[in-house]
């Protein structure tokens, strides 16, 4: 075993710059996958250069490859130059330079370490060229400006090694795979970490000056400022609610008793979600789980008690609603069809845009932000983006319909 191979069992042998707290929490987290929506110049690139250097230094061995993937060659070259400069400034524990422990090849954009590890800086402009390698850790830079096929290819290279990945970039609208993936991570996808680094995090971390942020705010269009400096996506997805309207309805969870319940039922792929509104139309209970039908039926029955409830009766939900009705005659079923879902969602749209309803800043807000509508020959189609859930949106819409149509027992559904 070489001197460096022995030394690199402990990452602390290389004195790399410390990350500021929010930056460290986002990048140096224990989760295998981390996606970071970040302000421009918030330190996301530098932080991930440091992280990838540490990965190669600590986990490197002969033939092990680590990747930095940027949308185009020029951006990959910029990151390469920054890592070369950073390594030139890095120190060993005794204060001596790292000269001799790493070498750079500008022609191939690679940095080779004496422990056998190699960091390669790649362009994603031709995703098919990214397949085939076994990669031990990767950074995907400027993800919102990169084709989804590139992410698919990079993900495949991490399969055999179970290598970690950090996905970073500015926010650029909502019609991209990075935005959708961030929402899944924010909802608690297993082994995923979601983080946001806005300009004020960077100010607190000593990376940016507050005066510069205020100057940009005064000079730039508000939607541009929000994307570049606050990591807030512009409203370009066809959202039926509108991001401002969604945010205007956010509030603390009410501690009042339930007035009505809305339940969207599922077993394994989606979630069973129950949302209760109090007498003022504010969310006061929130339940979200994945269990078998017996547990689901018993749990829903116990939670609604004798309260008014509107429950998803589509497919397997129909017999569950029948069982619930035997215990509580104030329970009604709602069958989802293209037409009924359109009417249901339009009622929720009106409630949110008029601020008649309030909900906490949790999975409910995340799903509302991502929810979409599209026009077709047969009408308007409301749904979550591919790979995401709309269970919270449906449960909230059911609860609102129940709230607006009490008493339940008059066949309003």
**Which residues lie closer than 8 Å to 114 by C-beta, 6 or more apart?**
2, 4, 100, 101, 102
Beta strands in 90-214 (DSSP E): 102-105, 110-113, 118-123, 135-140, 165-169, 192-197
> How high is the pLDDT of residue 266?
86
- Mean pLDDT across 371-395: 77
Q: pTM value?
A: 0.68
396 and 265, same domain (yes or no): yes
> How high is the pLDDT of residue 196?
95
User: Is the predicted pLDDT of residue 376 greater than 70, yes or no?
Assistant: no
pLDDT category of residue 409 using cuts at 50, 70 and 90: very low
- Mean pLDDT across 15-20: 86
Alpha-carbon gap, residue 303 to 412, rounded angstroms: 23
29 and 123, same domain (yes or no): yes
Bridge partners of 118, per DSSP, are 65, 112
Query: 92-113: per-residue pLDDT in tens?
Result: 666 666 666 788 999 999 999 9
281 and 150, same domain (yes or no): no
> How high is the pLDDT of residue 412?
35
Which among 281, 278, 296, 262 is positioned nearest to 392, based on CA atoms?
262
> How high is the pLDDT of residue 235?
65
Element (H, E) at 68: strand 65-70
81 and 150, same domain (yes or no): yes
307 and 213, same domain (yes or no): no
- 299, part of any domain: yes
- Mean pLDDT across 372-400: 80
282 and 383, same domain (yes or no): yes
Say if CB 199 and CB 25 are below 8 A apart: no
Q: Mark which of 197, 230, 263 sits at the end of a domain.
A: 230
Q: Mark which of 195, 230, 265 sits at the end of a domain.
A: 230
- 276, part of any domain: yes
Do strands 379-383 and 372-376 pair parallel, antiparallel, or not at all (unpaired)? antiparallel
User: Is the predicted pLDDT of residue 261 greater than 90, yes or no?
Assistant: yes
249 and 221, same domain (yes or no): no
- 115, part of any domain: yes
Alpha-carbon gap, residue 413 to 347, rounded angstroms: 14
- 105, part of any domain: yes
Average pLDDT over the chain reads 88
Say which CATH number the domain at 391 has: 3.30.420.240
> How high is the pLDDT of residue 4?
35
User: Is the predicted pLDDT of residue 380 greater than 70, yes or no?
Assistant: no
> How high is the pLDDT of residue 238?
62
> How high is the pLDDT of residue 330?
92
- Mean pLDDT across 370-390: 73
For 104, 182, 331, 370, the CA distances from 175, given in Å and listed in that order, are: 37, 12, 38, 10
What's the structural domain count of the chain?
Answer: 2
- Asked if residue 407 has a cis previous peptide bond (ω within 30° of 0), the answer is yes
Say if CB 140 and CB 69 are below 8 A apart: yes
User: Is the predicted pLDDT of residue 38 greater than 70, yes or no?
Assistant: yes
User: Is the predicted pLDDT of residue 410 greater than 50, yes or no?
Assistant: no
C-alpha count within 13 angstroms, C-beta hemisphere, residue 151: 21
- Mean pLDDT across 118-128: 95
- Mean pLDDT across 5-22: 64
> How high is the pLDDT of residue 9?
42
Which among 395, 350, 387, 346 is positioned nearest to 370, based on CA atoms?
387
% the chain with pLDDT above 70:
89
Which among 69, 89, 88 is positioned nearest to 79, based on CA atoms?
69
User: Is the predicted pLDDT of residue 377 greater than 60, yes or no?
Assistant: no
219 and 335, same domain (yes or no): no
162 and 33, same domain (yes or no): yes
The alpha carbon torsion through 393, 398, 403, 409 (nearest 10 deg) reads 180
Say if CB 109 and CB 79 are below 8 A apart: no
Alpha-carbon gap, residue 83 to 81, rounded angstroms: 5
Domain that holds residue 335: 244-410
Query: 152-173: per-residue pLDDT in tens?
Result: 999 999 999 999 999 999 988 7
Which among 391, 399, 393, 392 is positioned nearest to 270, based on CA atoms?
391
pLDDT top residue among 318 and 168: 168
Q: Mark which of 174, 207, 230 sits at the end of a domain.
A: 230
% the chain with pLDDT above 90:
66
User: Is the predicted pLDDT of residue 46 greater than 90, yes or no?
Assistant: yes
- 235, part of any domain: no
149 and 262, same domain (yes or no): no
User: Is the predicted pLDDT of residue 1 greater than 80, yes or no?
Assistant: no
- Mean pLDDT across 218-234: 81
- 251, part of any domain: yes
211 and 259, same domain (yes or no): no
Q: Quick one: tokens of 155?
A: 């993900």
Say which CATH number the domain at 121 has: 3.40.50.300
What's the CA angle centered on 56, arms 50 and 60, to 5 degrees?
Answer: 165
Query: 237-249: per-residue pLDDT in tens?
Result: 567 888 889 999 9
- 237, part of any domain: no
> How high is the pLDDT of residue 284?
98
- Mean pLDDT across 390-395: 95
- 92, part of any domain: yes
Query: 52-99: per-residue pLDDT in tens?
Result: 999 999 999 999 999 999 999 999 999 999 999 888 877 666 666 666
252 and 163, same domain (yes or no): no
User: Is the predicted pLDDT of residue 267 greater than 80, yes or no?
Assistant: no
> How high is the pLDDT of residue 93?
64
User: Is the predicted pLDDT of residue 356 greater than 70, yes or no?
Assistant: yes
Q: Quick one: tokens of 285?
A: 């209970």
């Amino acid at each position: 075993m070489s001197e460096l191979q022995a030394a690199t069992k402990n990452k602390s042998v290389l004195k790399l710059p410390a990350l500021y707290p929010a930056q460290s929490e986002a990048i140096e987290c224990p989760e295998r996958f981390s996606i970071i929506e970040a302000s421009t110049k918030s330190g996301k690139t530098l932080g991930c250069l440091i992280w990838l250097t540490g990965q190669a230094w600590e986990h490197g061995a002969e033939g092990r490859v680590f990747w930095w993937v940027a949308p185009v060659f020029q951006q990959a070259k910029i990151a390469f130059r920054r890592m070369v400069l950073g390594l030139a400034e890095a120190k060993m524990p005794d204060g001596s330079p790292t000269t001799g422990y790493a070498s750079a090849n500008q022609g191939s954009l690679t940095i080779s370490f004496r422990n056998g590890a190699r960091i390669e800086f790649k362009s994603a402009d031709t995703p098919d060229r990214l397949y085939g390698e076994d990669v031990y850790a990767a950074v995907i830079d400027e993800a919102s400006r990169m084709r989804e096929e590139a992410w698919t290819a990079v993900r495949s290279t991490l399969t055999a090694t179970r290598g970690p990945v950090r996905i970073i970039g500015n926010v650029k609208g909502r019609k991209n795979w990075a935005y959708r993936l961030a929402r899944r991570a924010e909802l608690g996808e297993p082994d995923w970490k979601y983080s946001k680094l806005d300009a004020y995090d960077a100010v607190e971390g000593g990376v940016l000056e507050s005066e510069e942020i205020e100057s940009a705010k005064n000079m730039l269009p508000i939607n541009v400022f929000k994307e570049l400096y606050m990591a807030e996506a512009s409203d370009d997805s066809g959202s039926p609610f509108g991001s401002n309207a969604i945010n205007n309805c956010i509030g603390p969870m009410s501690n009042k008793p339930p007035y009505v319940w809305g339940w969207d039922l599922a077993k394994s792929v989606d979630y069973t979600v129950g949302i209760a509104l109090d007498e003022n139309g504010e969310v006061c209970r929130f339940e979200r789980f994945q269990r078998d039908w017996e547990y689901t039926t018993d749990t829903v029955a116990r939670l609604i008690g004798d309260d008014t409830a509107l429950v998803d009766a589509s497919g397997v939900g129909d017999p569950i609603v029948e069982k619930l009705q035997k215990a509580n005659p104030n329970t009604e079923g709602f069958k989802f069809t293209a037409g009924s879902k359109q009417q249901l969602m339009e009622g929720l749209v009106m409630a949110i845009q008029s601020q008649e309803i309030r909900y906490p800043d949790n999975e409910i807000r995340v799903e509302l932000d991502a929810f979409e509508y599209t026009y077709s020959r047969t009408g308007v189609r409301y749904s979550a983006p591919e790979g995401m859930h709309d269970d919270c949106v449906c449960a909230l819409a059911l609860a609102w319909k129940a709230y607006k149509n009490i008493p339940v027992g008059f066949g309003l559904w």
